[in-house]
Amino acid sequence: MYGPKTKTERIIPVKLSMNSEFSFSCDRELACFGKCCKENHVILTPYDVIQMKQFLGITSDEFLFLYTTLGKIEATDLPIPVIKPREEASAPCPFLTDNGCSIYEARPVACRYYPIGAGLFHNKDEATNERFFAMINEPHCLGHGLSQTTTVEKWRQDQGVVPYDEKNAAWVEIVLKRKSLGPFITIPDKTLQMFFMASYNLDAFRRFVFGSKFLDVYVVSKERQREIEKDDSALLDFAIDWLKATLFGEGGIKIREQKASPDSIE
C-alpha cells in the first residue's frame, strides 16, 4: 500500500512475523519529519475512504474528485484510488501541514502501518490466506532504533490498524481471488466501473441501490435496506456481498425470481 519516494531509491524490505520485534518512533523534532509524506504512493482501501470523507465532512464523490487520482491494483485490472499530491516540487500529500498530518485521526491504513508494509498471500489450496509483513527502512527515515521495542502485533493495535484490517478483509479477499484468475481472464469495463463505485464511492452506490431498479432485481430485506440507507460501514459490507455475487457468482445476495406477465408471452 505504500511506495518509495523515488524510483532510484533502493529499499530492501526485511520480512517480519506478527511477533517480530522492532523499535521505531516518528518524532516532530526529527530532521526527517514529514518526508515520508512527500513523493510517495499511497493507495486507499474502501474503509480508508469512509473514514477520511467522514472526517472531512464531504461526500465520497467529492473526496475522490478532490484528493485522489486513479491507479490499478498490482497484477490486476482492478481500479483503485491513489492519494493525489499537491502540485509542488516536493509533491507533498494534500493533508500534510507544517504540524504534520491534518487528518491524523483518519489517516489511511498504509500510513498507520508505516514503517511496516503488510499484505496477504492467497493460496487457493488452503482455507486461509497467509499474512505477511515487511520492515520498510527508507534512507531518509531517522526513526528506526528509537523508542522502546515493540512487536508488529502491538504496533497494529497502537496505531489503530486492527479495525481497518478487519473491515477490509472481505474486500481484500475479492482482490486476491481476482489475482488468482490470472491475466488471461478479462473483466468488462462496465464491471470495473461498478467495482470502483461499490468499493470506494459509497454515496454513488447508495444512490444506485435506492434510485434505480436494483431492489427490483435483488432480494434485500427491509431490515438491511434500513441499515445501508444510513450506515456507510453496513453499506460497505453489502457492497462487498454484491461484488462477490457479481464477479464470482457467490452467495450473499440473491436475484429475484423474474416472472413473465401474460402480455409478454407470445
Q: Are residues 157 and 100 in the same domain?
A: yes
Instruction: Give the number of domains in the chain.
Output: 2
Residue 261 has pLDDT above 50, yes or no: no
State the pLDDT at residue 205: 98
Q: Are residues 225 and 125 in the same domain?
A: no
Query: Is residue 14 very low, low, confident or very high in pLDDT (cuts 50, 70, 90)?
Result: confident
State the pLDDT at residue 91: 94
Is residue 77 within 8 Å of 182, Cβ to Cβ? no
Strand partners, 255: 218
Is 199 exposed, middle or buried, given 0-12, 13-18 or 19+ CB atoms closer than 10 A? buried
264 inside domain: no
Amino acid at 122: H
Q: How far is CA 185 from CA 35, 44, 107, 180, 209, in A?
A: 40, 25, 34, 10, 28
Residue 264 has pLDDT above 60, yes or no: no
Q: Are residues 130 and 209 in the same domain?
A: no
247 inside domain: yes
Query: Does an H or E element contain 200, and which?
Result: helix 189-200
Q: Are residues 130 and 221 in the same domain?
A: no
Q: Is the pTM of this model over 0.75?
A: yes
223 inside domain: yes
Cα Rg of the chain, angstroms: 21
Is residue 153 within 8 Å of 146, Cβ to Cβ? no
Q: Are residues 122 and 196 in the same domain?
A: no
Q: Are residues 91 and 160 in the same domain?
A: yes
| Per-residue model confidence as pLDDT tens digits over 91-117 | 999 999 988 999 999 999 999 999 999
- Find the domain containing 205 and state its range: 184-255
Query: Does an H or E element contain 70, and which?
Result: strand 68-72
| Per-residue model confidence as pLDDT tens digits over 116-137 | 998 765 555 555 566 789 998 8
Q: Are residues 130 and 21 in the same domain?
A: yes
Average pLDDT, the chain: 88
Instruction: List helix spans (H) across 70-188.
Output: 109-113, 152-158, 162-181
